[in-house]
């Protein structure tokens, strides 16, 4: 079964600084990969996804993520964070065929300091 | 804009009560899911449904049941609420294929006292 690891439970970044959130997955084939964001008290919103092709994918709110097959990673990046980026971020992996569920990581909480 | 709507944002129920959490989607999605979210534990799948009247247990089904009588509606039922079911409950829906990901509702924060 596939699994997703987000090794950082909590990250604090200064406003305007760059951000990288880590995500590693365990799966035999190339999966579909997703990043979601959850603002306080809200549901999850899709930021971006990797299905195939170009390994650098762009998402909403200025985020991007890079799929690295050799490292089984799909790290989320943003060059300059804004206070509104404070939220919880979830990485998820899905099979590229069939009707299967997504597997979610345990999330990384992002705090932005002025 | 496509939506998944959860009927309540906040609920307070007493121990032993039967609790219904309702979720409706307007996207004609085949799959629907119920998760609970607790600090440090991420999202844990309770039940999911891939068709009307079809359901499968997720990772933590104990103490819960579900109902899907219509394609657009998926209900989560706590037969006898307990304090350890105090949590945030998230509903999601998706097409059969996973490449579109899930669409989530805004969540229901349930407190059992």
Which of A9, A51, A92 is facing B99, going by the closest CB pair?
A: A51
pLDDT at A98 over 70: no
As a whole number of angstroms, the distance between CA B37 and CA A37 comes to 14
**CATH fold of A3-113:** Immunoglobulin-like (2.60.40)
> Does A52 lie at the interface with B, CB-CB under 8 angstroms?
no
Q: What is the dihedral of CA A24, A27, A29, A33, to 10 degrees?
A: -40
Structure tokens at A92: 């998820």
Residue with tokens 């170009």: A54
pLDDT digits (tens, 9 = 90+) for B93-104: 998 877 778 999
pLDDT confidence tier of residue B40, bands split at 50, 70 and 90:
confident
Q: Where are the beta strands (DSSP E) in chain A?
A: 3-5, 10-14, 19-21, 24-26, 32-38, 44-50, 56-58, 64-68, 73-78, 87-94, 103-104, 108-113
Higher per-residue confidence, A40 vs B70: B70
Proportion of chain A above pLDDT 90, given as a percent:
75
* Nearest chain B residue (CA) to A51: B99
Residues of A in contact with B101 (CB under 8 A): 32, 34, 36, 46, 49, 92, 94, 102
Residue of A30, A42, A44, A104 best to disrupt the B interface, most CBs of B under 10 A: A44
**Mean pLDDT, range A83-102, rounded to an integer:** 85
CB pairs under 8 A between A and B: 60
What mean pLDDT, rounded, does chain A reach? 92
Residues of B in contact with A104 (CB under 8 A): 42-43
**Mean pLDDT, range B62-79, rounded to an integer:** 96
As a whole number of angstroms, the distance between CA A11 and CA A19 comes to 9
Residues of A in contact with B98 (CB under 8 A): 32, 94-96, 99-102
HSE of A86, CA atoms in CB hemisphere, 13 A: 12
- How confident is the model at residue A96, as a pLDDT? 65
- How confident is the model at residue A33, as a pLDDT? 92
Residues of A in contact with B92 (CB under 8 A): 43-44
Q: Quick one: which of A73, A109, A39, A36 has its CA closest to B40?
A: A109
Query: Min CA distance, A34 vs chain B (Å)?
Result: 7
**Mean pLDDT, range B38-50, rounded to an integer:** 91
> Does B98 lie at the interface with A, CB-CB under 8 angstroms?
yes
* Nearest chain A residue (CA) to B100: A49
Query: Min CA distance, A52 vs chain B (Å)?
Result: 10
pLDDT at A97 over 70: no
- How confident is the model at residue B78, as a pLDDT? 97
As a whole number of angstroms, the distance between CA B73 and CA A74 comes to 33
pLDDT confidence tier of residue A67, bands split at 50, 70 and 90:
very high
- How confident is the model at residue A99, as a pLDDT? 60
CATH numbers and ranges of domains, chain B: 4-8+17-97 (2.60.40.10)
- How confident is the model at residue A50, as a pLDDT? 93
Extents of the domains making up chain A: 3-113
Which of A45, A94, A106 is facing B41, going by the closest CB pair?
A: A106
């Amino acid at each position: 079964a596939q699994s997703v690891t987000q090794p950082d439970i909590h990250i604090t970044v200064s406003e305007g600084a760059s951000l990288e959130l880590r995500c590693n997955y365990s799966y035999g084939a190339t999966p579909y990969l997703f990043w979601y964001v959850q603002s306080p008290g809200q549901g999850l919103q899709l930021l971006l996804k990797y299905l195939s092709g170009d390994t650098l994918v762009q998402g909403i709110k200025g985020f991007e993520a890079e799929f690295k097959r050799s490292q089984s990673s799909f790290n989320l990046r943003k060059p300059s964070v804004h206070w509104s980026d404070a939220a919880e971020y979830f990485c998820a992996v899905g099979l590229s065929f069939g009707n299967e569920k997504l597997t979610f990581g345990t999330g990384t909480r992002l705090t932005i300091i002025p | 804009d496509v939506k998944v709507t959860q009927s309540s944002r906040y609920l307070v129920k007493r121990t032993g009560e039967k609790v219904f959490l309702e979720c409706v989607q307007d996207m004609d999605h085949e799959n629907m899911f119920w998760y609970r979210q607790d600090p440090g534990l991420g999202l844990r799948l309770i039940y999911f449904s891939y068709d009307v009247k079809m359901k499968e247990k997720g990772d933590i089904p104990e103490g819960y049941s579900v109902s899907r009588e219509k394609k657009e509606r998926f209900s989560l039922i706590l037969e006898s609420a307990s304090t350890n079911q105090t949590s945030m409950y998230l509903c999601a829906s998706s097409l059969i294929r996973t490449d579109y990901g899930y669409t989530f509702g805004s969540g229901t924060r349930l407190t059992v006292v």
